[in-house]
Chains A and B, each alone.
Chain A
Amino acid sequence: MSGEESFSRRLMIAATMLLFKSHRRPGVRGWELKHRLGKNYMRVIDALNSKLKQLGLEIKTVFEEGEENNLDRARFYVVLSHPLTMSDLVAAGWRIDEVAALSITLSILSSRGGKVPLRDVLEVLKTKFPKWKAESYLERAIKRGYIERLEDDVLTIGWRTKVEVEQKALLKAVLEAREEKEIRSD
């Protein structure tokens, strides 16, 4: 097998590993990639990333807390590189109410250091939804991995938010959304 052939084969292996879920959670650890693709697995990942970018996807690396330089322990995911539109969201089966509740919850968590008592989140959610609905949206967000519930009813940011949501961008968007509204009302 020539060098080029072997490289394109490794690209295919990397794509399969990253796109197919083989654990309970999606994503692949760096050491798993190293085991299958060899020591220079980051070269394969970079090449695959540039191919995926042409399709509107990209590879995201999420480091373990406190191990920001350890690629072997990091998790690699394929995520959408461009933002979805409202109609994409509805077509994908999401409910507007549910995403609005998620947006509120994650904004509160991000602005308060990542840990908030459940009652504080519910207080804001109850201004938009009936209590039972707010609670069921929170349960769903927990099940999907966007938030975690700790003991004493404290909410914290879940693994999926760390992968999928740019928290800084979310807070900025929340602030800007208000400004847009103000400009329109002027």
Chain B
Amino acid sequence: MKKLVVAREELERIIKLCENIERRGLDPFTVNVRELLERLRRMVEENPDLDHYVIDAETLYRISALIALQHKWLREKAKALFIDAQMISTRLVAMDKKALVKAFLKAWHPIISLEQMTPQRLRQGLEHFLSLPPRGGGREFGWKITDKEIELIKAKLELEEKAMMEKVKALHHELLRRFEERGEPLDYWEFIKGESFDETFERAYLLSFLITEGYVDVKRNPLKNELKLIPHREQVKRKSPTSLVISLRGEAG
């Protein structure tokens, strides 16, 4: 029994060592993989029971991940022309700020991109504008938005928001109805599918609000590559929410 506990502790140590190297980006070649595998084989032969096999499989998986990391490490090193990291650090310390910037500029090709207006951004802008305190003596420069114009813009934005909320509500009712008819969770892709890609996209977009707000739960089965929807009549508070990215391809729908 004691022997088994010792072997288990040793395997856990190996797992921890592999995990640590992977997580902290340490040099994976500091570990002798052959020696680890030999130790593992010896332990498996000495402890032929199910419990031990489970942890043994986990250790073997970690060692395989470490070998994959060694492969990646070598590839990265080759990409970096096998330049010694210590040499780079020493040079960085010796260089002055201007030389560092000049070196960076030789390798830097910044992205060119412009922000564009969306209804959401416009609403944020309007809300910010309306929250500003009035300036003493009125505005001297620039144009003035009249109260009537502000009311008009506000009404238009409210109308758009209302229309959107109604669509979300309708989708929620549809989901609840189909769920009750079937009596089982609904397939995500089947549910969002519309007559055109645009409709599919819109349904997926609206559904994401219901999921975020807690009206719909998504169950993912990575083995079957399935996504199932479970709707709720009332909002459900989640203890530990996570993000799920679902990409829609253009040819779908």
Residues of A whose CB lies within 8 Å of any CB of B are 19-22, 26-27, 29, 31-32, 34-35, 57-58, 60, 72, 77-81, 83-86, 89, 96-97, 99-100, 102-104, 106-108, 110-117, 124, 127-128, 150-152, 154, 156, 160, 163-178, 180-181
Contacts and interface: CB of A to CB of B under 8 A. Distances in A.
Contacts of A72: 249
Interface in B89-148: 89, 91-95, 97-116
14 contacts: A20-B114, A106-B104, A107-B92, A111-B85, A113-B25, A113-B72, A117-B25, A150-B23, A165-B109, A167-B79, A170-B103, A173-B106, A174-B91, A176-B103
Contacts of B92: 104, 107-108, 124, 174
Contact of A112 (B85, B98, B99): B85
B112 A80 contact: yes
A175 B106 contact: no
Q: Which of A80, A97, A106, A115 has the most CB of B within 10 A?
A: A115
B190 to A, nearest CB: 21
Given A150-B23, A154-B23, A175 B91 contact: yes
Contacts of A127: 93
A124 B229 CA distance: 50
B109 A173 contact: no
A22 to B, nearest CB: 7
Which 8 residue pairs are nearest across A and B when measured between Cβ atoms? A115-B25, A35-B250, A26-B113, A103-B104, A173-B103, A170-B107, A169-B107, A100-B97
Q: Which of B24, B81, B108 has the most CB of A within 10 A?
A: B108
A112 B28 CA distance: 11
B116 A96 contact: no
Contact of A174 (B84, B88, B108, B251): B88
Interface residues of B, number: 45
A164 B109 contact: yes
B197 to A, nearest CB: 7
Contacts of A29: 247
B102 A86 contact: yes
A165 B112 contact: no
B114 A178 contact: no
B94 A168 contact: no
Given A108-B88, A168-B81, A177-B99, A60 B109 contact: yes
Contact of A31 (B24, B114, B249): B249
A103 B131 CA distance: 40
B103 A110 contact: no
A116 B111 CA distance: 25
